[in-house]
Structure 1
Amino acid sequence: MLISFYNLQAQPKKFSYSASKMGSPFNIILYSTDSLLANRAADDAYKMVDSLVYIFSDYIDSSELNRLCVRAGQDQAFIASPALFDILEISVDASRKSQGSFDITLGALTRLWRRARKEKIWPSENQVQQALAVSGYKKIKLDKATRSVWLTQKGMLLDLGGIAQGYIAQKVIDSLRSMGISSALVNVSGDIVTLGSPPGKNGWTLALGLPESREKVLERTISVSGKAVTTSGNAFQFMIHEGKKYSHVLDPQTGYGLTSGRTVTVIADDGIKADWLTKAFSQLSFSSARKLAREQNAEFIISEYRNEKIRKRLSRGFASFWTTVK
């Protein structure tokens, strides 16, 4: 009797992890044939998240970011850690490329509006203008050779909230890749970065939220592999004043929240770029957004209500990501 032996390759299993980070669930999904490797990879990722949050957070008084802000207006340089200098350099470059529509120097304004939302008290025009006066990305000076940083305006405060989640999510994906993981998804409060695809599939299927809604989604889904997807809108953080809804996304020109009601989803090559582009596209004209998207190899969809109907405007290549209906 002839007996044949087959070396059956182990099939990857799905592992899901969730932890509260940055005030939101930080979810990791990965596939691996080795449970010990999966657990170690997730554990290392969360430790890295904690270390980066301690650097970037403006909620932690002793964070490196806040220690830098204390030095604003002083001649002495602040020597930044590699991670802080990296995100500052990327942010300043993003501000230049987006015509200033993305700006991390609005920290005084974000703190003002954060307090206003909490206390439900509308700030005075004078308060807004005072906070706006200490902003401006051109007031950040960087020396890459020495990792030196100067904030030239006294009272300037930085807010990395428009880029830090995407940055951290991307670093987690990079860490998982370095440990031999080839299929993973990281979701940080709507900032999603993917690595490869789930086994046997062409991509990760994602739903897109509707404007002004916390639960409703577009009728069509998208499928991405090795891409980042970020959505920005006013469904969760906003204020209503004299019948008008103001988003938590601020206009660097006026100091007030956006009132357009846009929900913007960006698909990009990495989480960092996807994150800041959503803020830029929330403000730029459609033609300017389309031009910037081409320059950054990104795609986007802008959804908003017009006359009680949803109006959707897409970049040229966005349709290629729609999930195929069979």
Structure 2
Amino acid sequence: MKQRQWLALCLAFVLCLGVGGCNKKNEPYKETQFLLDTIIEITAYGADAQAAVKAAMEEFRKIQPLTDHFDPASQISKINQNAGIAPVRVDPEVIGMIRHAQELSEKMDGAFDISVGALTRLWNVGHNGEYVPEAAEIEALLPLVDYRLIQIDLVQQTVYLPKKGMYLDLGGVAKGAALNNAVNALKAKGITSALVNAGGDVRVIGRKPDGKAWRIGVQDPRNSEGVMAKLTLDQWDTLETSGDYQRFFIKDGVRYHHIIDPKTGRQPREIASVTLVYQDSAEVSDLASSGILVLGVEKGLQVLQRFPGVEAIIMTTDGRLITTPALAGAVGQ
């Protein structure tokens, strides 16, 4: 499935469950843009909703020129271009995202790693047709993947990759940072009811105008028109999903998707979809559901215990639906 088709379907599921049913007195202001290589949809209610949504959307635009590794002029691209050559001075926000990514990597035993870029470029799923690299090509790049090698100088505000060929891909954290900034922008404008959907990663503010909690559909990873779970965000304000159905191709009966295990250079095979649900806070913010997918069910659930208050819905590739205990009564089919 093409990426934009999947994103459009994902938006349809979220919006039909989260926005529908409101009366005409509470018509939302909605805006959609394609930024950070995904579809961003912001829906807000209130007298200043239009101005608030535009301010929130601007936060995504600000992040893009900093972190877009496809843009040779971005700050992340400058870091990559200077790997093994020299440190690169960057904005404090870029430093913050990289440090946050390193902390996540440590907590997830390296299953999430922004230095995996050399491998994601090699596979280039979603951009390079049905290309399957040779084992030797993968093995040659594995020494370039290690978040612990990334050098940050807080005084000089520089980032340095010590090995030529190292490549950062901030896709796993840039969207979350922009999402947080967008929500803060909405709140600064006095918005008390809103939904921000960044390619399937969702943040809500308050409740819908009718007083009901936002209800979000989680896509069935093997049915593009189906919902495998419906979740009411009454205790949580954040939902993020990673899956093997978002960007993929099938060749000779094998599914190759865009999530790469940093330690093997290949796609993990046990989990089809992971959805994390939590209340965003200083202690728990901008997690990496892809890391849980890489770890697999048993290890993933163990690692999840390091993040208090975070719950999960996991669909395995053989069709098992697994939830953490707190979601047992919250997930509706």
TM-score (norm 2): 0.84
- Residue 54 of structure 2 is aligned to residue 43 of structure 1: yes
Distance 1:38 1:86, change over 3 A: same
- Contact kept? 1:212, 1:233, Cα under 8 Å: no
Residue 8 of structure 1 corresponds to: none
How far did residue 201 of structure 1 move? 2.7
What amino acid does structure 2 have at the position aligned with 1:38?
A
Residue 210 of structure 1 corresponds to: 220
How far did residue 50 of structure 1 move? 1.1
Q: Which has the higher contact order (CA 8 A, sep 6+)?
A: 2
Residue 85 of structure 1 corresponds to: 95
Distance 1:27 1:318, change over 3 A: same
Residue 70 of structure 1 corresponds to: 81
How far did residue 320 of structure 1 move? 4.8
Aligned residues: CA RMSD: 2.4
CA distance in 1, matches of 2:110, 2:325: 24
- Contact kept? 2:125, 2:248, Cα under 8 Å: no
CA distance in 1, matches of 2:138, 2:280: 34
- Contact kept? 1:117, 1:238, Cα under 8 Å: no
How far did residue 233 of structure 1 move? 0.9
Distance 1:276 1:201, change over 3 A: same
Residue 303 of structure 1 corresponds to: 315
What amino acid does structure 1 have at the position aligned with 2:101?
S
Distance 1:55 1:117, change over 3 A: closer
Distance 1:81 1:63, change over 3 A: same
Listed as ranges, the gaps of 5+ residues in structure 2 are 1-24
CA distance in 1, matches of 2:300, 2:268: 16
Q: How many residues align?
A: 306
Partner SS state of residue 163, structure 1: helix
CA distance in 1, matches of 2:313, 2:185: 29
User: Given the alignment, which residue of 28, 42, 50 partners 1:28?
Assistant: 42
String of CA shifts for 1:226-280, please: whole Å, max 9, x gaps.
Answer: 5111111111312334422122100111101222242111112339967643111
How far did residue 146 of structure 1 move? 4.1
Listed as ranges, the gaps of 5+ residues in structure 1 are 1-10
Residue 201 of structure 2 corresponds to: 191
- Contact kept? 1:192, 1:230, Cα under 8 Å: yes
TM-score (norm 1): 0.86
Determine what percentage of the aligned residue pairs are the same residue: 25
What amino acid does structure 1 have at the position aligned with 2:233?
V
Matches within 5 A, 1:281-300: 281-296=292-307, 297-300=309-312
